Structures are given as C-alpha cells and as structure tokens.
Amino acid sequence: MKPKVLLIEDDPNDVEIFGRILEEEGYEVTSADNVDQGLTLVRNEGNDEGKEFDVVLTDLDLKGPTGREGRELVVELRRSKPHLPVILMTGLPLRSGDPTADIAIDVIQLGAFDYISKALDPREDKTFRADLAEMVDHAVASKQLMAGLQPRPDAATEDKPAADKIVGNSRVMQNVYKEIGRVAATPVTVLVRGETGTGKELVARAIYSHGDRAAQPFIVVNCTAIPENLLESELFGHEQGAFTGANLRRIGRFEQAHCGTIFLDEIGDMDLKLQQKLLRVLQEQTIERVGGKEPIRVDVRIIAATHRNLELAVEENEFRQDLYFRLNVAVISLPPLRERKEDIRDLVEYFIECYGSELALRKQADGTFISMIQHGPKAAIEREAVMCLEAQSWPGNVRELRSVVRKALVLANGYTITTDTVRKALDQARPPSPALQQPFATLVGSVLASAKNGERENVIADLIEVVERELYGEALRRAKGDQSRAARWLGVSRPTMRERLLRYGLHSVRERSTD
C-alpha cells in the first residue's frame, strides 16, 4: 500500500508541482488549499475508503480564507492527532537568524516533524526531491512506530509484552522515533545509550525491523551474559581443535548474522582484547574464527547498546578510545523515565492492556476461571493512582514501571486500580531500603564502589532519594501525621511536602506511627 500524504498548499501551481513529485516518488496524494480544509480531511479520515493519512506536508505561510497558518495546523494536529507527523515547507531558504528560521525552529518546537525549504525549481532539483522523499519516508516510519509494530506471535511474558511497540509521545521520544527513522534504512553502526530499562533493546529491534535488512537475521549477543573466555568464540566461531574442548568447528554469531544485523548488547562490558577484535570487524568487515588462519568476509549491520558511561570507561582505560569513536557516530540516547513523565500515563495504559486480560482471571467456586475483562469491569486505573506513579523517580525506568503495573493488576484482581493498590505494588516492588541502617559513610562508600563498576549512574539522585524518604517519613511520624507541622520542621512548603509524600508513598505513615 502506498503511503498517503495530505498536501496543504494555497498556491495552485505548487499543488500541481509537489503533488506530481510526490506521486512520482510513490505516494498517494490528497490536497487541500487551506488549513481548515486540511483539518476537515484529517478529521474525516477513515470515512473515505479508510484513507488514514501517514504524513501531512504543508506550506508554512498559507493565506487561506480564514488566514490560519501552517503553524496553527501543527498545534491543532499535535493536540488531536499526536501520531500524525507534519512536515512544513517554507518558501525561502532558511538561514539561522532570519525570521523564517525563527519560525521554523518555533514550529519544530511546537511538534512539527521536520521542515524543508522549497527549491527554486523543485521538479528539476534532484537533491531537493531526494531530500523530500527521504523526509517523508522517515515520517511514515516514525508514524508506524508510534502506532506500534505488528505483534509478534510469541506470547506475552514478564519480560516481553506481546508486541515490540514503543509507547510514548513525549517530545524526547518523538526525537527518538525520528532518529530511528533516520538510521533504519542506512547501514551505519548505531549505538543505543540509556539507563537500564529505558528500552534500548526495543529500539534496536525497531531499527532492524524498519530497515532494508528486516527479512534477514537479527542476532542478539549479550556481552555480559557470556563468560569472557567464551565470548570470542561465540562472536567469531572457532576451528576444530582451536582449544581444548573444541571438537567441532563452530560458526560464530557474526557469520550467522551475515547479510543481517547483530545486536551487541552491553557492549560497554566487553573486555579490551575483544574490543580490539571488534574494531577490526568494523574497519575491515572481516572476522577470523578462533584458531583460523583465513579472514572471512562478513556483511553485518551492527547495533550496539550500553547503559555505561563510555566516556568515563575510556578515561579509566576500560574501553578503547578508537572503538568508542567508531561507535559514537550514530547515537540514539534514551532519556530516563523521570525525564519524560508525560509518557507514564500512556505506558501504564499500554501495560494494563498487555497484561490485563492475562491477569484478570477470577477463580470461581467450582475452581474454573472467568475473565473479568469479559464479565466484569475492564481493568482500569484511577486518575490519582496514575498521578502517584508519575510522582515516582523510577530508577529502573520503564521495566520497573511495567513490573509495578503488573503487580497492581494482580492486587486489583480485575477491578479498577486505586492509589492504594499502586502504593502496595510499589512497596512490594521496592522493599523499604535498609540503606540508612548502615552508617552513612559506609553507604556512600558502597554506592560509589558500584558506580565505579558501572552498576549505578545516578548516585546523587539515588542518595538524595534515600535521605529524603527517611526524612519525610520520620518527620511525619513524629508530627503524628500532621503534614503542616512536618513541613515546617523540614523547612519546605506544603506543596513540596505533599509531592514528596505522594512520591514516596508515605501518606499512610500516621497509621503506622507507634509513638
């Protein structure tokens, strides 16, 4: 099926020119000559032979009957159709500092997918045509990503929801989708960075499934999970008799991935000797089996991921600088969940949908199960409960959120998830930290040691959380649940107090109070 483009242009000449170009580039085009007509078409999409637009391409400077401009279209569509990417065309070449550039930057900030300046002779200008087609392709890929990839046939489990869908409409995630769109169709090596549980593997899979190697193998190697001495043979294979126990020749992961993609997860944990060999693969596209004499040519696209701070690892001579430079070309950085709290609601609803039907089974007196999804209220969540989730700091990011939602679903037993349920689920997921029971200096020492090993990244945030949780909880306990008094003692405002109590689930402290 051809991707469907809605072209909004008030100049009939341009409608003709751009419409023709887009059709020649393989898109199906519908046109409108002002913002209102464009919006009506978008609103009615689906009525007209299922015509759901994939991309909107609009002039920035429209002079329609109501005088609404491209800018307003972006705002309106962003609100009503957050998944529908809008590309703006500007009349003049953009130079930074001139007002058009300001407008363009402004509309990107409002949520336009991208912008392009019209060429003087668009039909003849090959670069312009190629740029436009590429931009539209990225936008289409980005929309499909947001709408979710096709569910995979394997069943949902604790670690894998049934689909590889990436959920989240925050600005930072929109940028991630754009980046995925940009790199997917190219052969470049991509490095995916981000804290644990931010979705690095999900992104790696999305890059793979949106690229032209999607029909070829996708091989995952977790560099941490395989013992160091075995990793080389795992990656590159070995010849018979290469070492004691190598009774047969073994084909390594790189050879298996030939013509396809290899995902090197936790590459920051690879040992230095192997890093050097990997660098050679990147430079020469050849591998050598352990004990082998001939270099073997491999055509493999590499996607790597790490949660480690590679710059620090380079500084401490734990990661080769030359490999770092090779990898640090196309980088996709996934923001931690606490920096995109606006995604939490969508994620929660998504996880409820993923796990809701699986868990909302009620045992009846006769021992059989009925699904509350069909027979009772559909699993839902109270607004306050979502707010409580939004107030958390999520050191384990999306993975942690998913596990809390799953626990809450079990606790809610098919009924609406309340704030209380969420608190219980949070308590279960994070048993009260024993951290402060040890002397503070010991705590600092152990936290810094694990940071040095790359096991932790947000040392300050983590420690502040430990201290705050203790302070707020203890103050409230001593104030016998009187929040105003506790806030006064701590020197914080009432709103701050309320926010922290929500964040740390300390509302019920008074009931637990013993004095």
- The residues that touch ligand ATP, with contacts defined as CB under 6 A, are 159-161, 165-168, 194, 196-202, 307, 347, 398-399, 402
- Name which of ligand ATP, Mg ion, none residue 161 binds, using a CB cut-off of 5 to 8 Å depending on partner kind: ligand ATP
Other residues' Cβ atoms within 10 Å of the Cβ of residue 179: 20
Least Cβ distance, residue 265 to Mg ion (angstroms): 5
Q: Find the angle CA(424)-CA(428)-CA(429) to the nearest 5 degrees.
A: 115
Give the tokens for residue 190. Answer: 């991509």
Nearer to ligand ATP, 123 or 338 (CB): 338
CB 29 within 8 A of CB 22: yes
- Name which of ligand ATP, Mg ion, none residue 318 binds, using a CB cut-off of 5 to 8 Å depending on partner kind: none
Least Cβ distance, residue 176 to Mg ion (angstroms): 15
Q: Quick check: helix, strand or coil at residue 35?
A: helix
**What is the spatial distance between Cα 372 and Cα 203, in angstroms, rounded to a whole number?**
33
Site for Mg ion in 361-390 (CB under 5 A): none
Nearer to ligand ATP, 117 or 397 (CB): 397
Nearer to Mg ion, 196 or 450 (CB): 196
Nearest-CA neighbor of 75 among 90, 88, 63?
A: 88
Size of the site for Mg ion (CB under 5 A): 2
Nearer to ligand ATP, 138 or 165 (CB): 165
**What is the spatial distance between Cα 143 and Cα 137, in angstroms, rounded to a whole number?**
10
- Name which of ligand ATP, Mg ion, none residue 213 binds, using a CB cut-off of 5 to 8 Å depending on partner kind: none
Cβ partners under 8 Å of residue 320, min gap 6: 272, 275, 276, 279, 314
Least Cβ distance, residue 225 to ligand ATP (angstroms): 10
Least Cβ distance, residue 299 to Mg ion (angstroms): 25
- Name which of ligand ATP, Mg ion, none residue 196 binds, using a CB cut-off of 5 to 8 Å depending on partner kind: ligand ATP
Nearer to Mg ion, 201 or 269 (CB): 201
Least Cβ distance, residue 348 to ligand ATP (angstroms): 11
- Name which of Mg ion, ligand ATP, none residue 197 binds, using a CB cut-off of 5 to 8 Å depending on partner kind: ligand ATP
- Name which of ligand ATP, Mg ion, none residue 171 binds, using a CB cut-off of 5 to 8 Å depending on partner kind: none
Q: Which residue has the tokens 């270099």?
A: 295
Least Cβ distance, residue 133 to Mg ion (angstroms): 34
Nearer to ligand ATP, 238 or 340 (CB): 340
Site for Mg ion in 181-210 (CB under 5 A): 200-201
334, β-bridge pairs: 194
Nearer to ligand ATP, 138 or 402 (CB): 402
Give the tokens for residue 194. Answer: 């981000």
Residue 384 Rama label (left phi>0; alpha psi -120 to 50; beta)? alpha
Give the tokens for residue 325. Answer: 């430079």
Residue 285 Rama label (left phi>0; alpha psi -120 to 50; beta)? left
**Per CB under 5 A, does 255 bind Mg ion?**
no
Buried b (16+ CB within 10 A) or exposed e, 76-99: bbbeebebbbbbbbbeeebeeeee
Least Cβ distance, residue 262 to Mg ion (angstroms): 15
Nearer to Mg ion, 137 or 269 (CB): 269
Least Cβ distance, residue 111 to ligand ATP (angstroms): 18
- Name which of ligand ATP, Mg ion, none residue 199 binds, using a CB cut-off of 5 to 8 Å depending on partner kind: ligand ATP
- Name which of ligand ATP, Mg ion, none residue 256 binds, using a CB cut-off of 5 to 8 Å depending on partner kind: none
333, β-bridge pairs: 193
Nearer to ligand ATP, 31 or 403 (CB): 403
Pairing of strands 218-222, 28-32: unpaired
Nearer to ligand ATP, 195 or 255 (CB): 195
Buried b (16+ CB within 10 A) or exposed e, 446-458: ebeeebeebebbe
Nearest-CA neighbor of 117 among 97, 87, 142, 143?
A: 87
- Name which of Mg ion, ligand ATP, none residue 402 binds, using a CB cut-off of 5 to 8 Å depending on partner kind: ligand ATP
Least Cβ distance, residue 483 to Mg ion (angstroms): 40
**Per CB under 5 A, does 164 bind Mg ion?**
no
Residue whose C-beta lies closest to ligand ATP = 199
H helices present in 82-240, as ranges: 99-110, 126-147, 171-184, 200-209, 228-236
Please give the radius of gyration of the chain, using alpha carbons only, rounded to the nearest integer: 27
Least Cβ distance, residue 195 to Mg ion (angstroms): 11
**Which residues lie near Mg ion (CB under 5 A)?**
200-201
